[in-house]
Amino acid sequence: MKSPKIVAADTIECWLDLKSDALRKILPRVNIFFMNESEAKRFSGEPKVLRAARTISRLGPRLVIIKSGEHGAMAYDGETDNCFWAPAFPTFEVVDPTGAGDSFAGGFLGTAVSSGDPFHPSMIKKALFMGNVMSSFAISAVSIDGLVSLKSEEIAKRLEILKAAVSNGEGDGGVTSQISSLLKSLSR
């Protein structure tokens, strides 16, 4: 590709073990970078998720997405110093976690690039919710069975449930601006 609009990358544990230097070299060319929480802490050398995201963002990616399994996912925008979080869709049982991270990334990217600006705060929030919903379907069955017969109505219903679980009826209740203000005060 000569001029991609968005470059996204995900990693796995063996890249951290075997190709950490190569990974660091490609990050300046990546716009959106996905890692799970333990990988992010290990790769960055930071014990806290938010610090890990900021450290990784300074290596190149504007948006660092950290997946935290049953605790949801967060996005850190290194250009604006904003942090966004969305909870995981509540489930009582995980049948097979294989592919949950890839399903999250697919849901996130599909949503984020569906607008003109994948870095707009509202689009990042929508994308986090969609990623968490898609991963909830992935963990509900073995292999891709939780995804192959999925209907758009089922996705919409889970999105509605997840958004209702965190809403007070007034958007995000100012949570995003509160988190952004906190980040700005901590970085001084």
Residues 73-129 pLDDT 10s: 999 999 999 999 999 988 888 888 888 889 999 999 999 988 778 999 999 999 999
Residue 125 pLDDT: 94
Q: What is the pTM of this model?
A: 0.84
CA dihedral 152, 153, 155, 159 (to 10 degrees): 130
Task: Kindly report the average pLDDT of the chain as a whole number.
Answer: 86
Query: Which residue from 87, 39, 24, 36 is spatially nearest to 65, judged by alpha carbons?
Result: 36
Residues 152-187 pLDDT 10s: 888 988 898 888 888 765 555 554 554 455 455 555
17 labelled catalytic:
no
Write the CATH number of the domain with boundaries 8-168.
Answer: 3.40.1190.20
Q: Where are the beta strands (DSSP E) in 62-114?
A: 63-67, 73-77, 82-86
| Domain definitions of the chain by residue range | 8-168
| DSSP 8-state assignment for residue 77 | E
102, 117, 145, 172: the active-site residue: 102
